[in-house]
Chain A
Amino acid sequence: MRPQMTVERQLALLCSPAVLFTIVMIAFPVGYSVWLSFQAFSLGGGSTFNGGENYVRMVEDPEFWNGLRVTFVLYAISLVAQLAIGTYLAILLNASKRMVGFLRSALLSPFVMPPVVVGMMWIVILDPAIGVANYVLQSLGLPPSEWLASPRWVIATVALVDTWQWSPFVALIVLGGLQSLPGSVYEAAEVDGVSRWAVFRYITLPLLAPTLLTAAILRSVDLLRFFDIIYITTGGGPGNASNTLNIYGFRVGFEFFEIGYACALMVTLSTIVLGAVLLITKGRNMIDW
């Protein structure tokens, strides 16, 4: 009889393709990016260590600071809007008795659509000259907007599109949270004659906080790396009005082929995302009861 491998060995063997793949395609590239961010790299030309020069350049680059500003403005507007609308929608859904199945299905559509489709759809709807959005505004007696073509409004417009796409997702997460809240608390509040607003403010909201923070983590990860919809609709423009850090880094890498500098930008952005996630996770763990 062959000597049998230990269970641990066999498990390690089963896990090895996934581990190997993770090392080659995820861990190594991350390490390689960090290494490249300290190099002057040219395709076909090889690379030389240039200390922290890429990072020095970044700190002195006004486009970097613009990207940082655009990223955080877009992040703040979108996160607040999505958490607020998502919670509002979840409360409406939770109170509704009929058609819950249909309504839930309807809510899925925006966030399972490919970003390219979302982008194409809104380009057509928001066209300043012949889009239906301006037609609706004018029918209501409001002035038309330049939407994505306006340097002043482009961030708000992108936030609007992202909020359209992801508020339903937040709503479904919050709905899950609402449905797991203990009913007894509400019965007690009802007996005591507490107002609806007070119930929401002092009972529902605190109990929902961990769920809201989970939603905030997920949205933060996507919003801080905002790329797809902007790249598809404006390419970072008009001018640099929607040039998020992620868009800027991508263009530095694949349009200007300054790989080392692009990696420095991407490493910085990844650090920001990781920092935000750790911060919110810590907050959630502190209040999780």
Chain B
Amino acid sequence: MSETWIRRLNAFQLLLVIALILLPIVWMVVSSFKPSAQVTAYPPTLIFTPVLDNYRQLFSTTPFGSYLVNSIVITVGSTLLGLLFGVPGAFATSWSRVNWPATVTLAARMAPGALFLLPWYIMFRTFGMIGSYSAMILAHAVITMPVIIWVMLPYFDNVPRSVLESAQVDGCHVPEILWRIALPMVLPGLVVSSILAFVFSWNYFLFALILTNQSTKTLIAASFNFIGEGATYWGALMAAATIIAIPPIILAFVVQRWLVSGLVMGAVKG
């Protein structure tokens, strides 16, 4: 076979696989714009006039707006908490080379969620915190903080030690060195780790099932309940799915160069 043919065959296979990967997503988005009678039509229809009925139904028949607010509060809250704890933690870990706290956080990545959720449930129940934003923010910070620590570590490792030491000779306290000198040098890492933490927290499924109530329910938990309500609302179901998928997909494109290393976190050193 000639080189050209091999290259064509290669391109053909690649397009085929990419199509298989993208088609289900396209089908979801397309279905969300179908008139509701056509969503459940069989054989499935491809030609239709796109309408926003499903989206309207979603917002008018469910408190979708307030679920959205809950999701944003919990995701942003847990990302900020993760940064507040994780960034100084990563800085101190990188400087002192004492790694065990970072290693312990990997337990959160490895153990099944219910291993934490069972004791948390008892803890939060004791303090009357089930259904509160704070319980959910604390729980999701268990997702965000390790991501932030592990993504920030190499950035802090790259700050030249001489810079830190000369600041120290000038009489700066360590927190000052972090705030005034190190942080401005690791801004890209800060952006990447915040975005990754946001995506992971936004997507996380399990904790919201148990720790939220009707007034703090997230989009993820609410959508899970929609599924139980049956096939009649497929259009609205696909509209909800599309809306929930948009923020992580957009953010993933923004940080795509770092996304895989963020997910690999710790596994290489481990």
Contacts and interface: CB of A to CB of B under 8 A. Distances in A.
The answer to whether A and B come from one shared complex is yes
Interface string B83-112: 011101101110110100100110111111
A18 B244 CA distance: 30
28 contacts: A4-B173, A18-B149, A21-B85, A25-B139, A27-B107, A92-B13, A96-B10, A96-B14, A98-B11, A109-B25, A111-B263, A112-B199, A112-B252, A114-B202, A114-B248, A117-B245, A120-B223, A120-B240, A122-B24, A129-B42, A164-B24, A169-B260, A232-B227, A249-B114, A254-B114, A254-B121, A259-B122, A266-B112
Given A214-B267, A232-B224, A262-B114, A15 B88 contact: yes
Given A22-B104, A105-B253, A105-B256, 9 more contacts: A25-B139, A26-B107, A30-B115, A92-B10, A112-B259, A120-B240, A250-B117, A266-B115, A277-B110
B45 to A, nearest CB: 10
A217 B92 CA distance: 28
A218 B110 contact: no
Contacts of B248: 112-114
Interface string A94-133: 0111100001111111111111110111111101011010
Contact of B174 (A11, A32, A106): A11
B42 A130 contact: yes
Interface residues of A, number: 92
B72 interface: no
B138 interface: yes
A29 interface: yes
Interface in B169-189: 173-175, 178
Interface in B247-268: 248-249, 251-253, 256, 259-260, 263-264, 267-268
Interface residues of B, number: 96
A274 interface: yes
Contacts of A225: 111-113
Interface in B137-176: 138-139, 141-142, 145, 149, 168, 173-175
Interface of B: 7, 10-11, 13-14, 17-18, 20-22, 24-25, 27-28, 31, 40-44, 84-86, 88-89, 91-93, 95-96, 98, 101, 104-105, 107-123, 125, 138-139, 141-142, 145, 149, 168, 173-175, 178, 199, 202-203, 205-206, 209-210, 220, 223-224, 226-227, 231, 234, 237-238, 240-241, 244-245, 248-249, 251-253, 256, 259-260, 263-264, 267-268, 270
A150 interface: no
A223 B120 CA distance: 24
A137 to B, nearest CB: 12
A95 B22 CA distance: 21
Contact of A106 (B18, B125, B263, B264): B18
Given A26-B108, A112-B248, A116-B224, A172 B96 contact: no
Contacts of A277: 110, 270
Contacts of A267: 115
A168 B101 contact: no
A66 interface: no
Contacts of B252: 108-109, 112
A130 B40 contact: yes
A115 B95 contact: no
A218 B202 contact: no
Contacts of B203: 112-115
A104 B28 CA distance: 21
Interface in A1-57: 4-5, 7-8, 10-15, 17-19, 21-22, 25-30, 32-33, 36, 43
B93 A15 contact: yes
A237 interface: no
A10 B110 contact: no
Given A29-B120, A267-B115, A109 B237 contact: no
Given A19-B101, A120-B241, A14 B111 contact: no
B267 A218 contact: yes
